[in-house]
Structure 1
Amino acid sequence: MSAGAVSSPFYDDGLIQLDREALTLRRYHFPSGTSKIIPLRDIRGYHVSPLGLFMSRFRLWGTDLRCWLPLDVNRPRKSTLVTLDVRGAFPRPACTPEHPNAFVDLLDELLAGR
């Protein structure tokens, strides 16, 4: 790799990118659809749960007053919700990774190594 080259992300499913520095949730802000970049140092922890059949699975974008979900038109096909505990964030950012096991394993590794 040449000097100044940017390292490739560790996890990227098109909507979620996780690397050594930050977690990026694409299509996060309503109505602009801009990304939210969360520095890893601000993530205090997270909670993994199955997507509820009616409450979260069919919520394509928005909030239930506890967490905020970025736009994901494929969410009804997904099964896992990851809710982040981020310093100063309310409602809590949440996401539905395409490959939840790989995402959570990497998140564990990166949070443990800070």
Structure 2
Amino acid sequence: MPSAPPPPSLYRDRWIECTPEQLLIRGYYFPYGPPKAIAYSKVRSVERFPLTTWTGKWRIWGTSSPRYWAHLDPGRPHKAVGLLLDLGGFVRPWITPDDPDAVEEIINRRRLAPGSP
């Protein structure tokens, strides 16, 4: 018996996907590895910040500070906004979706929803 297809994504670009249950970050474990999966309930907060030379605009992947981690995104130098995710741990991933407004809204709506996973 064939398995049911996965539910449609709420948002998807080359590197970031918001499913009904979790945020998927492709290229997090570059060059190999599966996408990093983060349940919305694990996100304590989302902080929007401007991408500048000093805040990672030219960083394609990784970090210069062990506290923050950027997924692979070769298009990051052409983007203006990043989203910093507080997951309650030492390392805070930051992402650069093509549509940061949509992703920020989905994460906040899902993480605050009653009974969210």
TM-fit CA distance, 1:52? 1.8
Please tell me the residue identity of whatever aligns with 2:97. P
Report the residue type matching 2:48 in the other structure: V
CA distance 1:41–1:55, shift in 2 (3 Å): closer
Q: Distance in 1 between matches of 2:19 and 2:90?
A: 23
Higher relative contact order (CA 8 A, sep 6+): 2
Name the CA distance, whole Å, in 2 between partners of 1:102 and 1:55.
21
**Aligned-residue identity in percent:** 32
Q: How does 1:27-106 map to 2 (within 5 A)?
A: 27-32=27-32, 34-63=34-63, 64-87=65-88, 89-106=89-106
Q: Which has the higher strand share?
A: 1
Measured after TM superposition, the shift of residue 99 of structure 1 is: 0.7
Q: Secondary structure at the match of 1:61?
A: coil
Cα displacement (A) at 1:7: 1.2
Distance 2:70 2:102 in 1: 20
SS of the residue corresponding to residue 53 of structure 2 reads: coil
Q: What are the ranges of 5 or more consecutive residues in structure 1 without an aligned counterpart?
A: none
Distance in 2, Cα, partners of 1:55 & 1:108? 23
Deviation of the 1:33 alpha carbon: 5.0
Q: Which moved more, 1:46-55 or 1:95-104?
A: 46-55
* Runs of 5+ consecutive residues of structure 2 not aligned to the other structure: none
- For 1:68 and 1:96, locate their aligned partners in 2 and report how far apart those are by CA, in whole Å: 12
Q: TM-score, normalised by structure 1?
A: 0.86
Tell me, in whole angstroms, the C-alpha distance in 1 between the residues paired with 2:13 and 2:34: 16
TM-score (norm 2): 0.84
Q: Distance in 2 between matches of 1:35 and 1:5?
A: 19
Aligned residues: 111
- For the 8 Å contact 1:33–1:71, the answer to whether it is kept is no
Name the CA distance, whole Å, in 1 between partners of 2:46 and 2:54: 22
